[in-house]
Amino acid sequence: MAIDMSQFFQVFFDEAEELLAEKEKLLLAVDISSPDPEDLNAIFRAAHSIKGGASTFGLTDMTEVTHVLESLLDKIRKGEMALTAEHVEAFLVAKDVLKMQLDGHRLGTVVNQDAVADVRMLLQSLSQEDVSVVTSIVSFVPAKKDSLGSVNYSHIFTIELPRLPSDDLSAITSELGLLGSITKEKNNGDNNVLKLKTNETQEDIVAICSFILDPSDLKISVQKVNLQTEHLPQSDDELGYGFFDPLDSMFSSAVTPIGLVTGDAPLDETLISHENFTNDNKLIVKKESEKHPTSQEASTIRVGIEKVDQIVNLIGELVITQAMLEQRTQDFDPILNERLLSTIAHLTRNTRDLQEAVMSIRMMPMDYVFSRFPRMVRDLATKLGKKVEFITHGASTELDKGLIERIVDPLTHLVRNSIDHGIEMPATRLQSGKSGTGKLSLSAAHQGGNIVIEVSDDGGGLHRDKILAKAKQNGLPVFDSMADSDVWQLIFAPGFSTAEAVTDVSGRGVGMDVVKRNITAMGGVVDIRSAKGFGTTITISLPLTLAILDGMSVKVGDEIYILPLGFVIESLQPVAQDVKEINGRGRVIKVREEYLPLIPLFECFNIQPKFTNPSDGIAVIVEVDGKKAALFVDDLVGQQQVVVKNIESNYRKVPGISGATILGDGGVSLILDVAALLRSAR
């Protein structure tokens, strides 16, 4: 049964982009002197799958590049060529070209045809080089020639296809013929039967066929050939016949209708590799079940982000409705309305669980960000003549999709800074008693309701004296006895840089104000730790999501404001003797031998308060960027979960306000921008 492939264009684009990213990741990690055979096979399969998909959808420009790329990869993985640094570099350039072509088809962006022609020529020239065979990288039993020069293959597949148009059948036969020796058998009723002798796997066959036909209409049986004898195996055990379930193929998620069931049992795969031979040249058979004692099915479904956002918005409205119900019933008699109040409490718990479950759908692993950097680190280090070891930790840590996309640019700037001006040249490092290879690490971890991301290098560190001198030159209010933490924050001043020369890579400080502004706009904070000669660590703390937050309701006059709970340390009612006036600088409050600036909210927003004397009201102690302050409010209303609404897109930016929410009584409450309030106070 032929199917309309146009509905799978977007699926192909997504799958191809994932395959290109995986290919780049494997290429950057490959050991050129002794490459992992499985990695070589995975790189080949990625190119082969992209080629098959591009051919099916008529994307001939991508097909032409991947065909040459696939041919070269096939020679390397079969041991006909030794992998070299030139090969890896060419494969990375080919990946960039394929990504450019993919974006051209998907987004309509310009494709540099000269670059496409150059990479094809490069791959063809490398493919024609006469390189000695390297048998150590062979991951499978190589095709064995007998005395007459014919090839013995390790598998014989019988492939039964449904009746197809002649063009489709010809296309499948042609592509399968690239895998080995193929012959057409007599038709089985309405079906076409092909016999393929090959060293490839069932996944390679299905990757080709599944772009033309529905995998449920594909039936494959396999005969394993004993390469150590001159005759074909006779018994059923030797023949190794079994049926392969096409739904287990790498592309089955893209083309398999939901609810599709096949009656064929999956083949109990026998692993054959050069490691399976003893000194007596006898084959040791290892079952896949022995290698992986347990197998769990994993299934995914692709859903447009706009649908997820719609669900998140509806959950937000449900949270507001639930808050309304709670407020309406808070004055009810608990005895007379016990069942109603119990039901509402149950609804509150379910709403909270539902909200957390839906928000988790928007969560993406930090690997989405981290995977972009190995290639960039490699290219920059090569360009600058430095040696850099790139390490990542916590790539599986999850963050809201909306934030994860916005954190890419700030992290990119920080990583480039570390390579350009953090890590020293190899000769300089050796003179300092360090290893010639610098270390750059990127880590992510959850801490409470936040995610903490660190960019750390073991380079030369920040130079305190240079920063202070530059700050004085720029007219910034600084003094020599400033704490290190305050000195490091100076690099976030607009236009601040201590770089002696401007490079096209980065400048420590150039654009750092933009980095901090972007992170602050996401509700995050930035901290710097550095020691001269030992390196620098920049820490970014972000909320896990901006859609819904836990807040404390505070009252000032007739207004209710929401204070994000993550910034709150404690609240207290100050005594008169703990409040001190500083001439021309406002008031401070003494909290456990520490004096903190007192920020009256009624003055910030020009409203009439209930109390003007701090000892009559409440002081809420908050902390941002390691700096503490006390917010003076009239009263505490309570703690609640609120849905964040963007006030800037619906009205305009309001100083000291980060957003708005709808309260249980239907009124609008403003969410305080704590970081902005503390900055204005300082």
Domain harbouring 654, CATH code: 2.40.50.180
115 and 207, same domain (yes or no):
no
Separation of alpha carbons 539 and 530, rounded Å: 11
Do 152 and 279 lie in one domain? The reply is yes
Residue in 341, 319, 273 with CA at minimum distance from that of residue 40: 273
* One domain for residues 609 and 526: no
Confidence (pLDDT) at 505: 55
Distance in angstroms (rounded) separating the CA atoms of residues 222 and 195: 10
Same domain for 98 and 50: yes
CATH of the domain at 45: 1.20.120.160
Q: Is residue 378 part of a domain?
A: yes
Instruction: Let me know whether 278 and 323 are in one domain.
Output: no
Give the pLDDT score at 443.
92
pLDDT for 458 = 92
**Number of other residues whose CB lies within 10 A of the CB of residue 273:** 14
Out of 513, 543, 573, pick the residue that ends a domain.
543
Q: Are residues 278 and 345 in the same domain?
A: no
- 544 CB burial (10 A radius; 0-12, 13-18, 19+): buried
Closest CA to 542 of 530, 563, 526: 526
Measured CA distances, 590 to 577, 578, 580, 636 (Å): 9, 5, 8, 20
- State whether 328 and 461 are in the same domain: no
The residue from 136, 152, 170 where one domain ends is 136
Residue ending a domain, choose from 97, 120, 136: 136
C-alpha–C-alpha distance, residues 174 and 192, integer Å: 14
Q: Is residue 203 part of a domain?
A: yes
Question: Distance (Å, rounded) from C-alpha 83 to C-alpha 81?
Answer: 6
pLDDT at site 457: 92
Q: How many whole angstroms separate alpha carbon 579 and alpha carbon 102?
A: 64
556, 609 contact by CB (below 8 A): yes
Q: Are residues 129 and 222 in the same domain?
A: no
635 bridge partner residues: 555
**292 in any annotated domain:** no
Q: 670 and 563: one domain? A: yes
**Selection from 164, 156, 275, 283 nearest residue 223 by Cα:** 156
In which region does residue 159 sit, left (phi positive, over 0), alpha (psi from -120 to 50) or beta (all else)? beta
Same domain, 517 and 614: no
Does the residue 523 lie in any domain? yes
For residue 441, the model assigns a pLDDT of: 93
User: What are the CB-based long-range contacts (under 8 Å, 24+) for 653-656?
Assistant: 655/680, 656/604, 656/605, 656/680
pLDDT score recorded for residue 152? 56
Torsion angle of C-alpha atoms 529, 530, 535, 541, degrees rounded to 10: 20
- Please indicate, yes or no, whether the overall pTM of this predicted structure exceeds 0.85: no
Question: Is 311 in the same domain as 372?
Answer: no
CB 634, CB 617: distance < 8 Å: yes
What range does the domain containing 563 cover?
A: 548-681
Structural domains counted in the chain: 5
Domain membership of residue 296 (yes or no) is: no
Rounded-to-integer distance, Cα 630 and Cα 652, Å = 27
| pLDDT less than 50: residues of the chain | 1-2, 130-150, 227-298, 507-510
pLDDT (0 to 100) of residue 58: 80
CATH number at residue 339: 1.10.287
Same domain for 538 and 403?
A: yes
CATH at residue 495: 3.30.565.10
